[in-house]
Amino acid sequence: MAAQNFKHALFCAIVTLVISYPILGLNLVAQGTQVVLEGADTATLISIVLAAVAVFLFQLFRDHIMGSVGKMPNLNPFANREPMEQSKRQRLDTIVLTLLVIGALIWPFLVSRGSVDLATLVLIYVMLALGLNVVVGLAGLLDLGYVAFYAVGAYTFALLYQYFNISFWLALPIGACLAATFGFLLGFPVLRLRGDYLAIVTLGFGEIIRILLNNMTWLTGGPNGIGGIPDPTLFGMEFGRRVKEEGNTLFHEVFNISYSGNHKIIVLYLITLVLALFTALVIRRFTKMPVGRSWEALREDEIAARSLGLNRTSVKLSAFTIGAFFAGFAGTVFASKQGFISPESFVFLESAIILAIVVLGGMGSQIGVILAAVAVIILPELAREFSEYRMLLFGLAMVLMMIWRPQGLMPMRRIHIELKKQE
Amino acid sequence: MQDLLYFLQQLINGLTIGSAYALIAIGYTMVYGIIGMINFAHGEIYMIGAYTALITITGLASLGVAWLPLILIVALICAVLVSSSMGWAVERVAYRPVRGRHRLIPLISAIGMSIFLQNYVHLAQGSRNIGFPALIQGGFQFGDPDSFQTSISYMQITIFITTLICMTALSLFISRSRIGRACRAVSQDLGMANLLGIDTNRIISATFIIGASLAAVAGLLLGMYYGSVDPLFGFIAGLKAFTAAVLGGIGSIPGAMLGGLILGVSESMTSGYLSGEYKDVVSFGLLILILLFKPTGLLGKPEVEKI
């Protein structure tokens, strides 16, 4: 056994060297037109050797290490507690949610402009993740091209403004409905495909939309994107220094306060917050309606659900369309927040990040998904010093989460009725 | 005559790219056939193969080695060695612990691994694209020298022949060898194969190693053909190869070959007759169309729903 362990450990160490040395230890450097090879600095070489040694030792004493990890006392103090009573839990949920919403409302007045801007972005991702949660978490349809619907919403607003001068509030429902239409049209033929085929078709669809946006230069400006997208107005009030549109008034003039650039940011944040809350509430209602129940039924057991008379296509289609609707919603807000959009913002990585948020949060769980959106967007911003390693760590974190906590931060709690305890 | 020559040229270009896609697609299709997951990091394995080949070629050039076959063979061996080790390690670290869980879990893990590997190479080698020396130059020309000429470069011939050799070897390996037989058994029924005494973990590792080796071969060939590599080199090629695998019917090895060729030809026809910018739109559009009418791909077996 020991000899076998040793052989395996040696093999793993050699593999570590083989996969790290050529890529990390030998750098291709362009000198004029020639490409030459340069050895990496000593620190890199030492860390490669250390990594190999670490892998060797870990594999050699794997059984001991794993054994002692298993024997360690459980670190989670909540692991063995009794589940809370249903009524108590509900009351607690309500209190926590109310406090959170109030906190979110007061918060922008206390912090810097940059943080409010970041919070708006977080809320956009919350909307996206809640929408994708319907498709992936509740209906169990794997959508890898979700960002396409986001792009449809953003571009709808940008183009409507550019050509017809349509304002944010009118563009919001139009963008969302157009995205929903795209979802419906794509979903209609492809939803009868099985899981992984659906994934690749939606992935292809996402790429098609991005390439079209990139190449239809006469309409979308191609890679240069569209700029000058206006901020939302509030009851006809603008937040700039001067009025841009005929018939609008200025916020600071109406309320007779001095002009400040912060007003715009804060109002945009509050509008996004309201829209995100709207998204969360609507989807919450849906999950309690028959259509929401049938999404979950179909996800759990397609054959059983169909034999009980559920129409597979229409149930899946409704989930897909509603998901797309909220992506369009978020897209419109995104276009308005950025003021400039280009196909660069709608690459596959975005889809992957939104999917990661849904899975990290715990598929189907709304609170979990919101928490995960906050974590996934804020943590990389905090890790600015490691900006080079950001995506590397993000990828690694995705893998590690799937290994250690695949059910997500807050797994979904099913709606259930508990039997009363017999006296 | 002119039109025919132009058509022939597009066909040749398409078959070249297509056969390289087929090489990458094998990795997707074999992994899917055995454990039913989409190995999203496969495109990155291919990219790492291309980088290793470039590093080896540059290293040999600085050592003063000038004999072309030696350079190519050493580069090929190094690329296959590094890529297959990478494939093996990725399976061990990121896929084995999550095997058998909900369908989405391995997929997310694979997407994470893909992002990780992309940034690993990005950090080590920079994000710029690096020129790949054109080691194999020259070719044949057909047609009237005053007007359009169809040309086949030696590079294209090399790609064809290498792909042909790899595919033949793979087919023989799968149909004749012990491991190949075990591979087929595992892909039919993993649990049953395990009961019959096949070490399924080893077979799954072997699948990843075979797929990664073929991807490394494709990395060397396409790196030379395109003339440059960058860390994002693998993503779009991986996506295309996966499309090819689905097109041909995922899980089926001849399907991957057919899918790769169809995809390559349709792409080069689009760039030749419409516009190069829309070639990806056409290939994904083709995928959607084929799946609509034949949901299991061209050569895929129809699945029977068992209750």
In this predicted model, what pLDDT tens digit does every residue of B139-156 receive, in sequence order?
888 777 777 778 888 899
Does an H or E element contain A67, and which? helix A62-71
Amino acid in the structure at residue B148 = F
Tell me whether residues B107 and A199 touch, CB distance under 8 A: yes
Contacts of B275 in chain A (CB under 8 A): 215
Residue whose structure tokens are 């129809």 = B302
Whether B306 has a pLDDT exceeding 60, the answer reads: no
- Give the residue from A399, A401, A405 with the most B CB atoms within 10 Å of its CB, the best one to mutate: A399
3-state secondary structure B61-116: HHHCCCCHHHHHHHHHHHHHHHHHHHHHHHHHHHHHHHCCCCCHHHHHHHHHHHHH
- In whole angstroms, give the CA distance from residue A416 to residue A337: 41
Q: Which residues of A touch B121 (CB under 8 A)?
A: 23
B93: distance to nearest CA of chain A, Å? 9
pLDDT digits (tens, 9 = 90+) for B229-273: 888 888 888 888 988 988 888 888 888 889 999 999 999 998 888
Torsion angle defined by CA atoms of residues B160, B164, B170 and B176, in that order, rounded to the nearest 10 degrees: 180
Q: Are A399 and B109 in contact (CB under 8 A)?
A: yes
DSSP H or E stretch at residue A108: none
**Diameter over CA atoms, chain B:** 68
**How many Å lie between the alpha carbon of B228 and the closest alpha carbon of chain A?**
11
If you count DSSP H runs as helices and E runs as strands, how many of each does chain A have, helices first? 17, 4
Give pLDDT tens digits along chain A (423 positions). 677 888 888 888 888 888 888 888 888 877 777 777 777 788 888 888 888 888 888 888 877 777 777 666 656 655 556 666 667 777 877 888 788 888 888 877 877 888 888 889 999 999 999 999 999 888 888 888 999 999 999 999 999 988 888 888 888 999 999 999 999 998 888 777 776 778 888 888 898 899 888 888 888 888 888 887 887 777 767 776 666 666 666 766 677 676 777 778 888 888 899 999 999 999 989 988 999 899 989 888 888 988 988 888 889 999 999 999 999 999 999 999 888 898 988 988 889 889 888 888 888 888 888 888 988 888 877 777 777 787 888 888 888 888 888 777 777 766 566 677 665
**Cα dihedral A148, A356, B49, A197 sign:** negative
Give the domains, in start order, of chain A with CATH numbers. 2-68 (no CATH), 97-404 (1.10.3470)
Judging contacts by C-beta atoms under 8 Å, the chain B residues touching residue A355 are 108, 111
Q: How far apart are the first and last CA of chain A?
A: 56
How many angstroms away from the CA of B197 is the closest CA of chain A?
20
CB B87 within 8 A of CB B212: yes
Using a CB–CB cutoff of 8 Å, tell me whether B86 touches chain A. yes
The Cβ of residue A423 has, within 10 Å, a number of other Cβ atoms equal to: 3
Q: Does B77 touch chain A (CB under 8 A)?
A: no
Cα A202 from Cα A194, distance rounded (Å): 12
Which residue in A200, A205, A212 is closest to B243 by CB distance?
Answer: A200
B57 contacts chain A (CB < 8 A): no
φ/ψ of A324, rounded to 5, equals -65, -40
What's B298's DSSP letter?
A: S
Q: How far off is chain A from B150, nearest CA to CA, in Å?
A: 29
Is the model's pLDDT at B282 over the cut of 60?
Answer: yes
Q: Do the Cβ atoms of A395 and B112 come within 8 Å?
A: yes
Which residues on chain A are in Cβ contact (under 8 Å) with B276? none
User: Are residues B120 and A207, on separate chains, in Cβ contact within 8 Å?
Assistant: no
DSSP SS3 for A73: coil
Query: Is residue A118 within 8 Å of residue A378, measured between CB atoms?
Result: yes
Contact A23 B85 (CB under 8 A): no
pTM summary value = 0.87
Q: Which long-range contacts (CB under 8 A, 24 or more apart) does A32-41 make?
A: A33/B131, A35/B54, A35/B58, A35/B130, A35/B131, A35/B133, A36/B58, A36/B62, A37/B55, A37/B58, A37/B59, A37/B62
d(CA B266, CA B258): 12
- Per-residue pLDDT of B192-212, as tens digits, reads 999 999 999 999 999 999 999
Q: Mean pLDDT of all residues in chain B?
A: 87
Give the sign of the dihedral formed by CA A109, CA A112, CA A113, CA A119. negative
Q: Given this model, what pLDDT does residue A82 score?
A: 61
Q: Is the pLDDT of residue B305 over 60?
A: no
The verdict on a CB contact (< 8 Å) between B243 and A406 is no
A274 pairs with which residues across the strands? none
Q: Which of A28, A212, A359 sits opposite B130 (nearest CB)?
A: A28
What pLDDT, on the 0 to 100 scale, is given for residue A146? 93
Of A37, A204, A348, the CB nearest to B243: A204
Among A31, A200, A215, the residue to mutate for chain B (most B Cβ within 10 A): A200
Residue type, A60: L
The residue that leads in pLDDT, B275 or B118, is B118
Does B100 contact chain A (CB < 8 Å)? no
Residue B142 near residue B5 (C-beta atoms within 8 A): yes
Q: Which of A225, A320, A338 is nearest to A272 (CA)?
A: A338
Residues of B in contact with A211 (CB under 8 A): 277-278, 280-281
Cα B294-B297-B301 angle, rounded to 5 deg: 95
B203 DSSP assignment: H
The CA distance from B1 to the nearest CA of chain A, in Å, is 33
Tell me if chain A has a CB within 8 Å of the CB of B243. Answer: yes
| B123:A136 CB<8 A | no
- Does pLDDT of B55 surpass 60? yes
- Say if residues B119 and B125 touch (Cβ distance below 8 Å): no
* Per-residue pLDDT, A173: 92
Q: How many other CB atoms are found less than 10 A from the CB of residue B11?
A: 17
Q: What number of other Cβ atoms are within 10 A of residue B1's Cβ?
A: 9
Which residues in chain B have Cβ-Cβ distances shorter than 8 Å to A363? 104
Contact call for B109 and A193, based on CB within 8 A: no
DSSP secondary structure letters along B128-193: S-EE----S--EEEES-TTS--EEEEHHHHHHHHHHHHHHHHHHHHHHHSHHHHHHHHHHH-HHHH
Best CA proximity match to B218, nearest among B14, B27, B85, B40: B27
Judge whether residue B75 has pLDDT over 90.
yes
How would DSSP label each residue in B213-273?
HHHHHHHHHHHHHHSEE-TTHHHHHHHHHHHHHHHH-TT-HHHHHHHHHHHHHHHHHHHHH
Query: What separation in angstroms does the CA of A5 have from each of A55, A56, A117, A260, B63?
Result: 12, 10, 54, 68, 38
Residue among A15, A28, A200 whose CB faces B54 most closely: A28
* DSSP calls for A205-268: HHHHHHHHHHH-HHHH-GGG-B--PPPPPBTTEE-SSS--STT-EEHHHHTT----HHHHHHHH
Cβ neighbour number for residue A17 with a 10 Å cutoff: 17
